[in-house]
């Protein structure tokens, strides 16, 4: 029977009927078992309600809904027959009858619906918080890390917690989540709050999402008003929260500003290049060097193509500049999903044949050099008496090189 079970588990979509399956180390009567194609999850329908071992627990599960199993045949999720009280780390929680409960592969509780009979008070570090229980609603689950540390739940009352060096008020009626070290990870602001960071003080808007790094540093938030913030050695104005723009700010783990929505056109100088970024999201290295942003005014700069030809690249307004290394080197430019454009026609050699590249040829840029992936000629290219690329049309560099190489032979 075990051999038959393992064959079932190893075949995507394979089906068995009315057999025993060893679940959590116990032979259990099953009506069928199907492995879901493309993922390592086995769906099992019990022949009848059954008491099944899961990690340190022994739990009665319902046959009315399928169980999901890991490849190891431990329970991933199942439906509880009755209200079930489980000890998870330092917590004791009663989960609701008829609700689905999820487990980590090590058998510890991942997520479940607390019994609607009462709200749940849990301590996370030095703080005791009241979490709502409201039946089978997805956002009312309680979740736990694989090591038994509390992960997330719906606050029944506002809670004020110390995050890093700041006291932060979290809003009732919203989920709050924690890292495995017990540090708050995310929640919703109970009120407009000033948050101090190495990048300055940010006033974060009430009832908006706020997230933190595991070291307690602010990670993301939404500004109450336009705010001047230090970026590298200068201060830049970033936009207040606007749901249409998704205008948030974010910070590196050391507290330096990582990204934000520029509130006005802003000029940057990096190395020998000076350019203007539009009011849009912009991303920065920890030292304040731009990573990417949207070009506000036409920007032209020079690069070396194939180690010999110096070319001028152009980005038009609305196209995106990406990526500056902290050293100040442009790594890549592209606009509207493509790449930088040549400013003028230039001579170029492919497979020994000299061509005239069209001024609008798109170039990919890698480090300090321009790389040509596609050829757009400024004149017809012939193969014998036949035109293989018309002026202004495009062919991949590799294909043209292969064709012209054959012509040369």
Residues 359-368 have pLDDT tens digits of 556 555 544 5
DSSP 118-148: S-EEEEETTEEEEE---SS-GGG-EEE-TTS
Q: How many residues does the chain have?
A: 409
Residue 227: name the closest of 235, 219, 215, 237 by CA.
237
Burial of 312 (0-12, 13-18, 19+ CB in 10 A): middle
Instruction: Specify the DSSP class assigned to residue 392.
Output: T
pLDDT of residue 37: 67
Which of 268, 255, 191 minimizes the C-alpha distance to 229?
255
Distance between CA atoms of 268 and 190, rounded to whole angstroms? 37
Structure confidence at residue 133 (pLDDT): 66
What integer is the mean pLDDT of 86-92? Answer: 92
Q: Report how far residue 118's alpha carbon sits from residue 133's, in angstroms, rounded to the nearest whole number.
A: 6
Higher confidence at residue 315 or residue 81? 81
Chain segment 177-186, per-residue pLDDT in tens: 999 988 999 9
């Amino acid at each position: 029977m075990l051999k038959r079970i393992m064959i079932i588990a190893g075949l995507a979509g394979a089906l068995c009927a009315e057999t025993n399956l060893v679940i959590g180390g116990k032979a259990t009567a099953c009506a069928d078992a199907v492995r879901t194609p493309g993922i390592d999850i086995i769906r099992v329908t019990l022949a009848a309600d059954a008491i099944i071992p899961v990690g340190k627990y022994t739990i009665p599960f319902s046959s009315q809904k399928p169980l999901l199993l890991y490849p190891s045949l431990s329970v991933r999720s199942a439906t509880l027959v009755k209200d079930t009280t489980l000890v998870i780390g330092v917590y004791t929680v009663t989960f609701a009858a008829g609700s689905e409960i999820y487990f980590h592969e090590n058998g510890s509780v991942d997520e479940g619906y607390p019994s609607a009979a009462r709200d749940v008070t849990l301590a996370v570090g030095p703080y005791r918080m009241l979490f709502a229980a409201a039946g089978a609603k997805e956002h009312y689950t309680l979740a736990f890390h694989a090591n038994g540390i509390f992960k997330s739940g719906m606050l029944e009352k506002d809670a004020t917690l110390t995050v890093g060096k700041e006291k932060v008020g979290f809003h009732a009626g919203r989920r709050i989540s924690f890292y495995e070290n017990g540090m708050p990870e995310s929640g919703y602001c109970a009120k407009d709050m000033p948050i101090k960071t190495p990048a300055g003080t940010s006033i974060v808007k009430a009832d908006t999402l706020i997230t933190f790094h595991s070291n307690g540093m602010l990670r993301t938030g939404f500004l109450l008003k336009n705010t001047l913030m230090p970026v590298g050695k200068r201060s830049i104005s970033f936009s207040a929260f606007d749901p249409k723009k998704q205008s948030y700010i974010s910070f590196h783990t050391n507290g330096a500003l990582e990204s934000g929505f520029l509130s006005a056109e802003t000029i940057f100088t990096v190395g020998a290049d000076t350019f203007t970024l539009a009011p849009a999201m912009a991303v920065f290295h920890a030292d304040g060097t731009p990573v990417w942003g949207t070009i506000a005014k036409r920007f032209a700069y020079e690069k070396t193509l194939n180690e010999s030809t110096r070319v001028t690249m152009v980005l038009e307004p609305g196209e995106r500049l990406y990526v500056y290394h902290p050293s100040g080197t442009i790594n890549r430019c592209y606009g509207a999903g493509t790449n930088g454009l040549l400013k003028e026609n230039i001579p170029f050699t492919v497979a020994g044949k000299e061509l005239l590249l069209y001024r609008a040829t798109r170039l990919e840029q890698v480090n300090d050099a321009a790389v040509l992936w596609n050829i757009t000629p400024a004149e017809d290219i012939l193969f014998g008496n036949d035109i293989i690329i018309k002026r202004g049309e495009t062919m991949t560099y590799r294909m043209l090189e292969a064709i012209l190489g054959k012509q040369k032979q």
